A = this chain, B = another copy of it.
């Protein structure tokens, strides 16, 4: 059994004052209410001796503020990135004196509605609505007219109805192309990984690359996983492809590309340069270490909660920069 909580009345009785005097002292209104310093000291001592803990839930019934934030995500499991966004959200919430609930809808609108309903029953003040992969969403009806910020997702409407925090994928595409152009690459640059119209990140990155004037050779299509990338790059090399640089759409693809290049005896970066997106832990573990453009998941989480709990402002889409982490996988083109 949890220890019984001391009541305000018990504190007042021990201090020899009225209940309202004790309340004024413990809520910092002793100056307004002209309470003697002696009485104040007695109340504080009694509160300490009884381990008095103001009942925040009773107080929140009056003030309607619980200082809690709920983060609702489609998934929290499958990717270490989710953990980083969560961590950023948690740090920002705590910095603003709030506690963080988490919930996972698994993309099921019925689970989502139940979850939001449960949070509303506990009078959660504000919500972060998050998606694992950047995509367009419809804000659930139960959350309309409440404080909500979207993390890694966008609304469908032309002008944003909520603050949206997303990675600047277009800018990341520009950075990838410029990094190769700056190293002297002009020819034999291949994109590795399937680009689908439905995948926001891929579409935006490709547009960003295109904007630099960089010319891409035939793409090497594969799923965004190491084994698929290994098969696709190996097949291309066996078919006589002589790539000078690979732009891999994530670090897992880059791992598969590394394995294929190594197996075919094409050293990185002497014969083939590789650049990637994510900057996951893996990037620094590969040999040679992989140059990768970082997804700012911690910052997305932090900024989402900061925007939610900070001063109100007009809804806007915030595109967070994706910085390049230069490592050892890019060299000068060998045959130019």
Q: How far is the CA of A117 from the CA of B99 in the complex (A)?
A: 11
Q: Which residue of B lies closest to A256 (CB)?
A: B285
Determine, out of A12-20, A84-92, A150-158, A322-330, the stretch whose residues face the partner at the interface. Answer: A84-92
The answer to whether the Cβ of A264 comes within 8 Å of any Cβ in the partner chain is no
Interface residues of A in 77-133 (CB under 8 A from B): 77, 79-80, 82-84, 86-87, 90-91, 94, 99-104, 115, 117-123
Q: Which of B57, B61, B83 contacts A82 (CB 8 A)?
A: B83
**Chain B contacts for A255, CB-based, 8 A:** 285
Among B104, B226, B287, point to the contact of A285 (Cβ < 8 A). B226
A307 within 8 Å of B by Cβ?
no
Give A58 Cβ to nearest chain B Cβ, in Å: 6
How far is B102's CA from A262's CA once the two chains are assembled, in angstroms? 43
Copies of this chain present in the complex amount to 2
Per-residue contact bits, chain A 287-300, to B (CB 8 Å; 1 contact, 0 not):
10000000000000
CA of A147 to CA of B53, assembled, Å: 18
Q: Does A230 contact B (CB under 8 A)?
A: yes
Q: Residue on B with the closest CB to A146?
A: B2
Q: Does A145 contact B (CB under 8 A)?
A: yes
Q: How far is the CA of A60 from the CA of B60 in the complex (A)?
A: 12
| A146: B residues at CB distance < 8 A | 2
B residues less than 8 Å from A147 (CB atoms): 2
Q: Is the CB of B100 within 8 A of A101?
A: yes
Contact A99 B122 (CB under 8 A): yes
List of B residues within 8 angstroms of A86 by Cβ:
76, 83, 86, 102
Q: How far is the CB of A127 from chain B (nearest CB, A)?
A: 11
Q: Is A265 an interface residue (CB 8 A)?
A: no
Q: How far is the CB of A311 from chain B (nearest CB, A)?
A: 16
A3 sits at the interface (CB 8 A): yes
Q: Give the shortest distance, in Å, between A59 (CB) and chain B (any CB).
A: 9
**Chain A residues near B (Cβ < 8 Å):** 1-3, 53-58, 60-61, 66, 68, 76-77, 79-80, 82-84, 86-87, 90-91, 94, 99-104, 115, 117-123, 145-147, 226-227, 230, 252, 255-256, 259, 262-263, 282, 285, 287
Chain A to chain B contacts (Cβ below 8 Å), 12 pairs? A3-B145, A57-B57, A57-B122, A57-B123, A58-B61, A76-B90, A80-B80, A82-B83, A100-B103, A102-B102, A252-B285, A259-B287
